[in-house]
Amino acid sequence: MGMVVDVILGVVKILIGGFANSHALIADGIHSLSDAATDILVIIITRISRHVPDANHPYGHARFETMGTLLLGSSLIVIALLLAYNYLKLVVIDGSITIPTWPALIVALLSIISKEWIFRYTKKAGEELRSNLLIANAWHSRTDAFSSIIVLIGIAGSMIGFYWLDVIAAFFVALVILKIGGQLVWDSSKELVDTGVEPEQAEQLQATLLSAEGIVDVHDLRTRRMGQDVLLDVHLQVDSTISVSEGHQIGEWAAKKLLNQHSFINDVIYHIDAEDDHKHRHQSNMTLLPLRNEVTTSLADSWPTMPTIEHMTLHYLDNRINLELFIDNVNMAGATASQIEQELIKRNQQSQWLGTLKVWVN
C-alpha cells in the first residue's frame, strides 16, 4: 500500500512541480519515488527474513533485515547527496530561481496527509510483526510528511515574495533524506558488528536469571542482536555439590524464565558453573587440571597396594580437585577410612592439582 501511494505521489509531485515551477516539490517527488523503490526492497527482505532456520542459517534469517536496512540507508544517502549537489549547483552556479504557482501548494498538502496515514499504518504493522525494517520504513514515511511540510512552507514563501525559500526547502529535503539514511546505516552497522543490548537492559536480563531457583550467581552475560531479536549466552553458577543433571535442569528452568519474561530474547545458550570461573578462564598462565583417567593413574602409582576404589567423585573447584573416594569395606585391608585419607594425602602431597580428599566406606 505504501509503495502504491509513493509511486502516485512521486509522479504527481514531479509533474506538478515541473508545471508549477517548484524545485522543492520536484525534490520531494524524487524522494517519494525512492521510497517506492525501497518499499520493494522491504517486501522482498521481510519475506526472506521470516524463513525458519535451516542448515546454512541455524540462527534464522533475521540478519537479512539488517542487510536490507543497510542497503536502504545507503541508497538514501546517495539520493540525498545527488539532490543536494543539484540544488547547490542550481543556486550557486546557474543562479536560476523560479516562483512556484498554486497547484504545487495543493500537491504538497496532499502529500502531508498521505504520508502521515502511511506512517501510522506501517508502524502498527511493524510492531505487530516485530520487524525493525518495517518500523524503520514507517518512520521514513513520517519524516517524509515533515519534509512535505517544509516544502509547503517553501512554496508558500516563494509565492509571497521570499524567492529563495523554495530552493532552500528543496535543499532541506535533501538533508532530511541524508540524516535518515545515515541513521539507518549506523544502526544496522552496529548490529552487524554484534553490538549488545544497552547496559540497563542487560541488568534486567541478569536480574531475571538471578531470581530463578537454584542460580547462585550469573557472569559473562553476552548479547548480540539479530533483527528484532536478541541472542544471549551466559554462565550460570549453581551449588558445587549438586549433580550434573540437576545443574542442567536448573539451567533449563532459568532459560525458560528468561524467554517467558523477555519476548525479544530469541535464543539462550547457557554454561553451568560450579564456581565463578571468570577469573580463572581469563588468566593467561592458567593450566588445565587432569581428568579422571590421569587422576586414577596418579593415585595408583603413588600407592600400588591401596585398597580398591569402587567409585570416585571429582570436584573441580578453585583450580584444584577435591576428591571423594568410595571404598567397599571388604577392601579396607584392616585400615580405617581416616588412615587411608592420611596415607593418600601424604603420598600425593607433591600433586599440585590435589585439593581436599575424603574417603567413604560403603
Q: How far apart are the first and last CA of the chain?
A: 77
Residues 27 and 136 in one domain: yes
Residues 32 and 172 in one domain: yes
Q: What is the pLDDT of residues 329-342, one digit of tens each?
A: 766 667 788 988 99
What pLDDT, on the 0 to 100 scale, is given for residue 118? 85
Residues pairing with 233 in the sheet: 222, 269
Domain boundary among 227, 252, 281: 281
Residues pairing with 354 in the sheet: 321
Residues pairing with 313 in the sheet: 324
Domain assignment present for 287: no
Residues 116 and 13 in one domain: yes
What pLDDT, on the 0 to 100 scale, is given for residue 96? 57
What pLDDT, on the 0 to 100 scale, is given for residue 205? 95
Amino acid identity, residue 250?
Answer: I
Domain assignment present for 222: yes
Residues 96 and 8 in one domain: yes
Q: Is the dihedral of CA 350, 354, 358, 360 positive or negative?
A: negative
Gyration radius from the chain CA atoms: 34
Give pTM, 2 decimals. Answer: 0.65
Range of the domain at 18: 2-192
What pLDDT, on the 0 to 100 scale, is given for residue 93? 58
What pLDDT, on the 0 to 100 scale, is given for residue 177? 79
Report the domain count for the chain: 3
User: Three-state SS string across the chain, please?
Assistant: CHHHHHHHHHHHHHHHHHHCCCHHHHHHHHHHHHHHHHHHHHHHHHHHHCCCCCCCCCCCCCHHHHHHHHHHHHHHHHHHHHHHHHHHHHHHHHCCCCCCCHHHHHHHHHHHHHHHHHHHHHHHHHHHHCCHHHHHHHHHHHHHHHHHHHHHHHHHHHHCCCCCHHHHHHHHHHHHHHHHHHHHHHHHHHHHCCCCCCHHHHHHHHHHHHCCCCCCEEEEEEEEEECCEEEEEEEEECCCCCCHHHHHHHHHHHHHHHHHHCCCEEEEEEEEECCCCHHHHCCCCCCCCCCHHHHHHHHHHHCCCCCCCCEEEEEEECCEEEEEEEECHHHCCCCCHHHHHHHHHHHCCCCCCEEEEEEEEC
Domain assignment present for 69: yes
> CATH no. for residue 146?
1.20.1510.10
Residues 155 and 99 in one domain: yes
Domain assignment present for 338: yes
Residues 138 and 258 in one domain: no
What pLDDT, on the 0 to 100 scale, is given for residue 97? 61
Domain boundary among 141, 172, 192: 192
> CATH no. for residue 212?
3.30.70.1350
Cα 308 to Cα 100, 296, 325, 344, distances in angstroms: 101, 11, 10, 13
Domain assignment present for 269: yes
For residues 203 and 218, the answer to whether their CB atoms sit within 8 Å is no
What pLDDT, on the 0 to 100 scale, is given for residue 91? 64
Q: In whole angstroms, give the CA distance from residue 350 to residue 78.
A: 70
Residues 25 and 141 in one domain: yes
Residues 132 and 184 in one domain: yes
How far out from the chain centre does Cα 76 lie?
Answer: 23
For residues 154 and 24, the answer to whether their CB atoms sit within 8 Å is yes
Residues 128 and 277 in one domain: no
Domain assignment present for 163: yes
Residues 205 and 171 in one domain: no
Residues 277 and 313 in one domain: no
Q: Is the dihedral of CA 203, 188, 66, 30 positive or negative?
A: positive
Domain assignment present for 52: yes
Q: What is the pLDDT of residues 251-291, one digit of tens each?
A: 999 999 999 999 889 889 999 999 887 766 666 566 789 99
Domain boundary among 281, 316, 342: 281
> CATH no. for residue 336?
3.30.300
What pLDDT, on the 0 to 100 scale, is given for residue 331? 65
Residues 13 and 114 in one domain: yes
Q: Which residues of the chain have pLDDT under 70?
A: 90-98, 279-286, 330-333
Domain assignment present for 286: no
